[in-house]
Amino acid sequence: MTTTNHSALPITPRALKDLRTTDDAGRLTTPFTDAEGGAPLRCCLRRAEPGERIALVSYAPLRRWASEQDVDPGAYDEQGPVFIHAEECGGPDTGALPFTNSHRTVRRYSAEGRILGGRLVEDPAVFEEALTEAFDDPAVELVHVRAVEYGCFLYEVRRDQEVRGD
């Protein structure tokens, strides 16, 4: 966990409701028990406890953001696997930035949903700085934080949800 001026956005309750039935690739969702725990949950932004009921679903974060913003990301749209709780859950219980303890990519997007570059973050200590640097560019509207080795989407950070002041 890292203290932050930026908010990590979990998958919205509305999207979760869809994903718990049919994922963004059109597949039926199949819940299972995470016997050992540790799956990074994109609904609660924490790792699963042993024995929790979860599901692995295909999620299209940019597509869903773009439809809210009424923009067309065109070819930049993509979808990938995320873990979520199988049933309705309470969401994150902390505002701290999760999943910062490993190599991450901070990928930047414009207001039109185009990729504007990114940064590899190898040191958790500079994670916050990487987000600040991204939003220092006025053209950057949205950031995706992704795992490096798997490339999986972890969460969004949006310009309008930066915490202002101290």
Q: Does 89 bind Zn ion (CB under 5 A)?
A: yes
Could you tell me the smallest distance in angstroms from the CB atom of residue 93 to Zn ion? 10
Tell me the DSSP string of 37-106.
Answer: ---EETTTTEEPPTTEEEEEEEE-HHHHHHHHHT---GGG---EEEEEESS-----S--SBPS-SS-EEE
Site string for Zn ion, 23-42 (x = CB under 5 A): ------------------x-
Helix (H) or strand (E) holding 134: helix 127-136
Binds Zn ion (CB under 5 A): choice among 9, 15, 39, 43: 43
Residue from 11, 19, 39, 44 touching Zn ion (CB under 5 A): that is 44
Q: Quick one: 9 or 43, whose CB is closer to Zn ion?
A: 43
Q: Which of residues 56-85 bind Zn ion (CB under 5 A)?
A: 85
In the complex with Zn ion, the residue whose CB is nearer, 43 or 142, is 43
**Contact footprint for Zn ion (CB under 5 A):** 41, 43-44, 85, 89
